[in-house]
Structure 1
């Protein structure tokens, strides 16, 4: 049996079966009982209305099991071609590999990591050409800035894999105690998208010459990608407070989840050159020069981080909200009917990613200084959509 949040259970039998540094001792995911029933919306909120936990049930996603546990603030997750995942730990700077059967191994560490507040070793992205270049990309806070680095993964399954020495791809991204962004992902176009926060300095989000408060689009070598709004700039969109989730739907549309200030968190459909309004506007209604969010949430229901697309829906992990949101996406690109699941079952939820086999991997973030960790935290939980 696995510890859930609502019952605040600490089970002796679970503690005795925990591996010293890995997941379940036999590498078999432990079953997770669902302690709440999901609810579904009876109406479709407009962008000017708060998206809320809805009414009426539909069965919803199933929590299959805990894949690994007792991690230290897992932040980034991306998958290798063989189905194993690369996982970063924000505080330790460790880079881990987790296989679909729950086997955990250490690949190396980004030693330049300087964790503080919300900063540290954040996102990871596997090269789309990994089969030939064996390259992993990371977003990391150094002693001077936030930066994107890359490193080759050497070794073999027989001898063990080992991360090589990182080299800088893009540096000079402002860093702060808060609002460091940090999600990186390769898009369908083959370019690397990088989210940055405004580091607690809101005016930077509207400054086109600053890399803070932006979504960036770069080549694998760190140059501004062809087709950017300004040819010599990596900036793809601006006016962001703190984007920590990126996902593309089946039609190739880019979606981003974003922390609000004190009123509205946002889901945005990202447009080339779009200005998303911060700090001039939070939520909707900022005027024609700004792009309104597709959906908004009261901050206590979301504080969103990871974002994934699977089974015709966006899935958004909530930190303060402590729930997983499922959002319908229409063929025309309309987001609607947000539905909350697992509310307060597992505490703060950081990252959600779609695995190659169609499941979701969901990470907790209860060891980050703002949660209430159980003996099993932090965890990666397998969710069947």
Structure 2
């Protein structure tokens, strides 16, 4: 582990624009560029409301656009995008457009991850905003993984007609990633018992709020407010006690899944070919870990999250740490 940068304030996401890293900071709504070891201000996203787990959250880059997920000062979550370009070494963001509005917001459980899949579509993870019944309400955007065209349109091959919903029955997904064979994985915060690693499929129902973690039988949809007619749900491929995980960001590099754990304060590795197995790294060494991303040089960048009032900041926190993935053995 080596420091890439220190002195960040509640960082949430990092992306690259033409090789230049951009970092989102949740609480002050700033997007900052790391250049030559120094941070420069790119944009303070207007209209962002910080409180609890809300604020400026995930970012994703695709075809000259930066997609941004944030909690608005009107108490709703939304996704917007900016034109992004690098000139003379400096990234500039212009031409803001709204992609998606009306995602229920709460003090906690805002989801917030945005990623472009291998199909070129924009995937958006949302939380249940503590209104748990919304996760089973197909008309609500809460407690879902959504799939959109890059400009916000609804793809014609989504599972539900004219709906952005790709999967449902989620409590609070903050990490999504794809293996080389296009298998989609997501990690999810449980309530008090089990956090989850799921394989996400088109139209899948993952059972929240009736189920948390694995179960042997299908759920009774009569127990679910505003039941959707689903007759089965999908079990996670792996689960952890909430004290050991609280998984946030994730990435896939080669044949390994990497998961950043907040409450568990560790980096978790999972073999793509055997997703029920896992290895723990750096347990309680660097505090809460918010995100892990693959850098252009195929190293891992790991974001700490110790300055958001829930952590125990070390001198220099928050920081981004660089990890050589070949240094992570599978027997720790």
Global fold match (TM > 0.5): yes
8 Å CA contact retained: 2:77, 2:104: yes
Pick the aligned partner of 1:344 from 284, 301, 311.
284
Pick the aligned partner of 1:163 from 93, 104, 108.
93
Q: CA deviation at 1:195?
A: 0.1
Q: Which runs of 5+ in 2 are unaligned?
A: 219-231, 326-332
Pick the aligned partner of 1:366 from 292, 306, 317.
306
Structure-2 residue corresponding to 1:236: 166
**TM-score of the two chains, using structure 2 as the length reference:** 0.91
Q: CA deviation at 1:97?
A: 1.6
Q: CA deviation at 1:157?
A: 1.7
Greater length-normalized contact order (CA 8 Å, ≥ 6 residues apart)? 1
Distance 1:365 1:225 in 2: 35
8 Å CA contact retained: 1:241, 1:259: yes
Pairing 1:1-385 to 2, within 5 Å after superposition: 63=1, 65-80=2-17, 82-99=18-35, 102-127=37-62, 129-130=63-64, 135-144=65-74, 145-154=76-85, 156-157=87-88, 160-285=90-215, 287-288=217-218, 289-330=232-273, 334-385=274-325
Distance 1:175 1:94 in 2: 20
8 Å CA contact retained: 1:329, 1:336: no
Distance 2:161 2:296 in 1: 34
Computing the radius of gyration from Cα coordinates, the structure with the larger value is 1
8 Å CA contact retained: 1:109, 1:163: no
Structure-1 residue corresponding to 2:222: none
8 Å CA contact retained: 2:238, 2:277: no
Distance 1:164 1:114 in 2: 21
Measured against aligned partners, the alpha-carbon deviations of 1:236-255 in whole angstroms (never above 9, x if no partner) come to 00000000001101111110
Distance 2:276 2:188 in 1: 17
Distance 2:93 2:121 in 1: 22
SS in 2 for 1:337: coil
Is the strand fraction higher in 1 or 2?
A: 2
8 Å CA contact retained: 1:280, 1:286: no
Q: Which runs of 5+ in 1 are unaligned?
A: 1-62
Change (3 A) 1:372 1:212: same
Change (3 A) 1:286 1:94: farther
Q: CA deviation at 1:261?
A: 0.3
Measured against aligned partners, the alpha-carbon deviations of 1:74-124 in whole angstroms (never above 9, x if no partner) come to 1011222x322221000010011225x534222111111101100000000
Distance 1:283 1:356 in 2: 34
Distance 1:153 1:83 in 2: 12
Distance 1:166 1:141 in 2: 16
Distance 2:91 2:148 in 1: 28
Distance 2:120 2:294 in 1: 18
How many residues were matched structurally? 311
Distance 1:186 1:286 in 2: 33
SS in 1 for 2:41: strand
